[in-house]
Structure 1
Amino acid sequence: MSLLDVSGLTVSAGQQRLVDDVSFTIAPGERVGVIGESGSGKSVTSLAVTGLLSDALTASGSVLLDGTQVIGAPDRALRPLRGPVAGILFQEPLTALDPLMRVGRQIAEPIRRHLGLRGDALHDAVRAALEDVSLPDPRFARAFPHELSGGQRQRIATAIALAARPKLLIADEPTTALDVTVQDEILALLDHLVAEHDMALMFISHDLAVVSRMTDRVVVMRDGRAVEQGSVEQIVREPHDPYTAALVASARALDSVLDAPASAAPTDGEAGR
């Protein structure tokens, strides 16, 4: 049985379709990447999956999350799923975190709500969550989000997303707002935690190299539609859709530039010709 089963999902804003008849599944423990350019519908898909679409959007089709139908369900029926079934890690942690609440309390909230811990047990669980994301110093629990670096905020957001030990982690472009060095640290952390806790992963990105690193199977989206699906190896070696082929070619071109020896780079004079 699939942990997530999306069938014929369509999301509209008035007459405009932001997601158009998208279908895919994620099995327990499976890692699936959703890739596409800005405006392709990948982030809207993730919001539809968890029932977090704004009131201005309407959804149809079917989304079964651990056997529960999300489309058309009232929010009170979906709240128990957000945490124990699906944890969500957003792109920009500074806006995802509450600026007026110490981060220790923000980590404690899903633990208290979903796992029922109180007192010393809750304190120990918060400390363990911080240790999981390599922030063991107690001062981090007492900090406000603005007192932390971008990488530290994303680690806190990761701790919150994983606090209730979800079966599925939905990571929506979690490294886009970070510099390259910190991006690599966060990706390595997510890779480790997903494996350690045996979670499924829905990883959303516009970067094929990152998706190839983090996932085993890929859904390629363009203009709201899933234009191609397959294993990472099949997508990279034998893309069928022209858009997928262009993504692969672009990634290879970037790799060839980065791998070129320094002596091959043009001089100032050559660059100006």
Structure 2
Amino acid sequence: MTLLDVRGLTVRTAGGRPLVDDLSFSVEAGERLGLIGESGSGKSLTTLALLGLLPDGMTAEGGVELAGTQIIGATEKQLRTVRGHRAAVVFQDPLTALDPLMRVGRQIAEPLARRTGLRGKRLRTAVGEALDRVRLPEPERIARAFPHEISGGQRQRVALAMALACQPDLLIADEPTTALDVSVQAEMLDLLDTLVRERGMAVLFVSHDLAVVARVTDHALVLKDGRAVEQGPVLDVVGAPKAEYTRTLVAGARRLEAALDLRSTR
């Protein structure tokens, strides 16, 4: 079953300049698609357009059908029925999703209450279970904390717990590990893989890191200047790239990996 169907998506500035240009792809139920590209390639704008979250002044054209709902042109009421329940997003900076003035537990409780109808002690128990599911130690302490009182890695796990609270069919992960150090990044990727497998969710994983995309996705789409230059099974795209731009990305990633390996032996 096709969960997300994007046809001819174009995102324009207020002045009419296209930042994403005639982009088409689809995500099947349970599939993992990686969206690859350098900064400025249009990856994050694409994810925002998929949920009707483009900044003021930007417009979207084309078709974006998510779980049977046409997103472009939808009312805010229609979009609210899709966001969270059918598709949820985890951003690079968890502070984008977290309210700095609200305790963590309350922020997870709100979507949980909407989905389950739980209240009181049962809701508090469900919040603790949600935090425990993303492998946060001392979930009761984390629930009482404000976002600034926990580490960046812990905030990202909280953001993931919030995204999963409504059990979405599609998880959109927009550079979710970029701001984390290498060891925490590896833990987050393992956690994400485990939770996605357990729930059978589809994933749209957005990253500039080819190694990360190859690790967590099945298929990949490469963006350059807002346009798709290559797509296919991720191992084919990374292992035998056809487009010159993709070959440049792969070569750069290999040079970086070689340099890191050399440095670690010194």
Q: 1:116 to 1:243 in 2, by over 3 A?
A: same
TM-score (norm 1): 0.93
5+ long unaligned stretches in structure 1: 266-273
What's the counterpart of residue 95 of structure 2? 94
2:143 match: 141
In the TM superposition, what is the alpha-carbon distance from 1:183 to its structure 2 partner?
1.1
The one of 191, 201, 204 aligned to 2:203: 201
1:173 to 163, 172, 175: 175
Contact 1:80 1:114 in 2 (8 A): no
Task: Map 1:73-92 onto structure 2 (within 5 A).
Answer: 73-92=74-93
- Identify which range, 214-223 or 180-189, moves more after superposition: 180-189
Return the alpha-carbon distance in structure 2 between the equivalents of residues 30 and 199 of structure 1: 8
User: Which residue number in structure 1 is paired with residue 254 of structure 2?
Assistant: 252
Q: Is the contact made by 1:32 and 1:218 (CA closer than 8 Å) also made in structure 2?
A: yes
SS at 2:88 equivalent: strand
Kindly indicate whether the alpha-carbon contact (under 8 Å) linking 1:20 and 1:224 is maintained by their aligned counterparts in 2: yes
Q: 2 CA distance for matches of 1:255 and 1:207?
A: 11
Residues 210 and 238 in structure 2, CA contact (< 8 A), matched pair in contact too: no
CA shift at 1:94, angstroms? Answer: 2.3
- Matched residues, percent identical? 62
Give the aligned partner of residue 51 of structure 2: 50
Query: In the alignment, residue 40 of structure 1 is paired with which amino acid?
Result: S
CA distance in 2 between counterparts of 1:96 and 1:73 reads 22
Tell me whether 1:190 sits opposite 2:189 in the alignment: no
Is residue 225 from structure 1 mapped to residue 227 from structure 2 by the alignment?
yes
Could you say which residue in structure 2 is the equivalent of 1:151? 153
Structure 1 residue 179: Cα displacement: 1.4
Largest Rg, 1 or 2: 1
Report deviation, 1:62: 0.4
- Quick one: which amino acid aligns to residue 70 of structure 1? I
- 8 Å Cα contact 2:29/2:169 also seen in 1: yes
Alpha-carbon distance in 1 for matches of 2:135, 2:205: 21
3-state SS of 2:2 partner: coil
**Could you tell me which amino acid in structure 1 is paired with residue 163 of structure 2?**
A
Number of aligned residues: 264
Q: TM-score, normalised by structure 2?
A: 0.95
Give the structure 2 partner of residue 11 of structure 1. Answer: 11
What's the CA shift string for 1:93-143, capped at 9, x where partnerless? 123210000000000111112332222332222111011111252111100
Structure 1 residues 250-259 or 181-190, which shifts more? 250-259
